Amino acid sequence: MASPEISPSPDRPVVTRFAPSPTGNLHIGGARTALYAWVVAEQAKRRVGPFKDHIGGGRFILRFEDTDRARSSTASEKQIAESMLWLGLDWDEGPAIQGIAGHETATGEHGPYRQSERLPLYHQQLDRLRAAGHVYDDDGAVRFKVTQDVTFVDAVYGTVTVKADEIEDFVIMKRKAEGDDLAYPTFHFAVVVDDALMEVTHVIRGVEHLSNTPKHAALYDVLGFDRPLWCHTPSIMNPDGSKMSKRDKAKAARKAADQFGWEDEWLADVGVEGLASKFAAFRAKESDDEEIAKMILMKHGTPIPEIDVTDFISSGYLAWPLLNYLALLGWNPGGDTERLSHDRLIDLFTLDRINKANSRFDRDKLVDFNRQAISDLSIDAFADELDGYPSGVDLSRPKRLVLARAFHERARTLAEPSQAGRFIWSFTEDPGEAAYEPKAVKKWLLKNDAQGLANLERARQALAELDDDFAPEAIEAALNSCVETNGMKNLGSVAQPLRVAVSGTAVTPPIHLTLHLIGKAETLRRIDACLKVFKGTAEASG
Ligand code: GLU
């Protein structure tokens, strides 16, 4: 395949766009498409990569394809815009979106940027087609007459040729709905008119649209517009080969409910109107309601499969490693370069290195990218990122810094510190034996004539003497001197019993940071509660 023209002429702006239908959140596949489109415009702006000699600049457009009126919503528009901005994919031209800082008013000269607001423009082009005899009416709709074979070049899939008689005369204008002034266009017509009038040079989109492209190419030719370069990107699959889709959440929820039971009494506590009937419909497989699926998964402590950008945010991924991973999911720079800086990606990216084969989503690799990115952050920056995790706990900045220190080297996601550190905020008020892991109790409290309990009592005395601010350094010093004065083996002699006392387990972040996060009064309370539960046991068995 001859490599397609990447830029029609060096002084014309390179224009890319992301054109989601606002019928849901931003899917991870959409995010990757948006990334590639954004990168190409960015390369042209910076004059790097394939656009080294390009003087025309670049533009990235956000356009909402809201011709499916029943399923489109402004809430979804806002969600998509927020996800894009979270990923750092800002646009040069786009619609006014209420509640999105910097985009409360439309930007750019090629608007409007919602198809529902562009109806007159489609009708102007329809009139041209009509005048030239390229369309005919059919049941109130308008069809485009296909008369010529079509050949086009796709940057990824190469040259495609389709015979005229294999393309139906397709509808370009729907039948006018009652009460409307103007009929709505179909996707095929709107996308071509918009891309042409917005001077889009590179149409980058999912491979599911490759089979639509002959129709689009035919429209371009008949309307006399310059064709763009088409570039279709492969689909993203789950490791089991199924397509990654929002139905995966419903699938996972059904599996969890099959395993744990479909009882729905707990729904009453959620207190949302109409939930029971939604749940029943979900159970009967009449709906894949995402909110119900998430509730079931959360109820059973089963991880929610991440599909939309918002899912990845709640799971605690950072934007850059996610983008870095997405860039490589379906494209490679050659060689074994994996972790790319922002600038490096923009230097190296080329459309012709996008894979044809579907991409498999490798969560372990993404997690690894994320863990490395977290450990590359300063403690300060990590603490900033931890804001909002755990949700519902109002942690002071100094405490958040300590949490960041405690988990900096080990956290794989932003959600992990608050999950792994859950005991810090909540530990049974009046714990019985069941609140403690039996193995840990035996090994660290009861063994050798309850040596651990004795050490715990000594540690309690040392800690009780500290100031109320319970500084990590002071805790560390107090415990070290407790070990020394009492001739204990090492810090573990007090740290392990303390861990059992405050968390019920033998595994926590460094003990001085852990105790600091719990605070002095609460630490002493937990030690006392633990002593109360196990001193009796020790005496009875001893
Ligand atoms: N609205 C279409 C979609 O969401 C976009 C098609 C295109 O990018 O041309 O799939």
Mutate to test the pocket of ligand 1, among 63, 205, 220 (most ligand atoms within 8 A of CB): 205
Report the nearest atom of ligand 1 relative to the CA of 191: 9
- C-beta separation of 18 from 34 below 8 A: yes
Q: What angle in degrees, to the nearest 10, is found between the helix axes of 492-503 and 447-464? A: 80
> 63 CB less than 6 Å from ligand 1?
no
Mean pLDDT of the chain, nearest integer: 92
Which tens digits make up the pLDDT trace of 146-159? 999 999 999 999 99
> 209 CB less than 6 Å from ligand 1?
yes
Residues of the chain predicted below pLDDT 50: 1-4
Q: Distance from the CA of 204 to the center of ligand 1, in angstroms?
A: 9
- C-beta separation of 354 from 36 below 8 A: yes
Nearest in space to 29 (alpha carbons), one of 394, 303, 255, 359: 359
> 216 CB less than 6 Å from ligand 1?
no
d(CA 249, CA 27): 13
- C-beta separation of 397 from 383 below 8 A: yes
Radius of gyration of the chain from Cα atoms? Answer: 30
Residues 266-270: contacts with CB under 8 Å, at least 24 apart: 266/299, 267/295, 270/295
Q: What angle in degrees, to the nearest 10, is found between the helix axes of 213-223 and 187-197? A: 50
Which tens digits make up the pLDDT trace of 45-71? 999 999 999 999 999 999 999 999 899
Provide the β-strand partners of residue 354: 331
- Give the pLDDT of residue 7: 57
Dihedral sign from CA coordinates of 321, 49, 43, 215: negative
Which tens digits make up the pLDDT trace of 446-480? 999 999 999 999 999 999 999 999 999 999 999 99
> 155 CB less than 6 Å from ligand 1?
no
Three-state SS letters, 281-298: HHHCCCCCCHHHHHHHHH
Assign 385 to helix, strand or coil.
helix
- C-beta separation of 226 from 238 below 8 A: no
What does pTM read for this prediction?
0.88
Q: Distance from the CA of 58 to the center of ligand 1, in angstroms?
A: 21
d(CA 479, CA 487): 12
DSSP state at residue 169 = -
Which tens digits make up the pLDDT trace of 81-92? 999 999 999 999
Torsions phi, psi for 467 (to 5 deg): -65, 165
Dihedral sign from CA coordinates of 131, 132, 136, 141: negative
- Give the pLDDT of residue 3: 39
d(CA 223, CA 108): 24
Q: Distance from the CA of 206 to the center of ligand 1, in angstroms?
A: 8
> 80 CB less than 6 Å from ligand 1?
no
The pair of structure tokens assigned to 365 is 């690799």
Report the nearest atom of ligand 1 relative to the CA of 30: 4
Hey, whose CA ends up nearest to atom 3 of ligand 1?
20
d(CA 186, CA 171): 7
Q: Measure CA 297 to chain center.
A: 18
- Give the pLDDT of residue 371: 96
Hey, whose CA ends up nearest to atom 10 of ligand 1?
20
- Give the pLDDT of residue 540: 66
Which residue reads 């009509």 in tokens?
130
Hey, whose CA ends up nearest to atom 2 of ligand 1?
20
> 191 CB less than 6 Å from ligand 1?
yes
Alpha helical stretches, state H, 288-412: 290-299, 309-315, 319-328, 342-348, 363-376, 379-385, 397-407
The pair of structure tokens assigned to 360 is 């498999």
The pair of structure tokens assigned to 326 is 């997405």
> 23 CB less than 6 Å from ligand 1?
no
Nearest in space to 415 (alpha carbons), one of 508, 312, 295, 518: 312
Cis omega (within 30 of 0) on the bond before 509? no
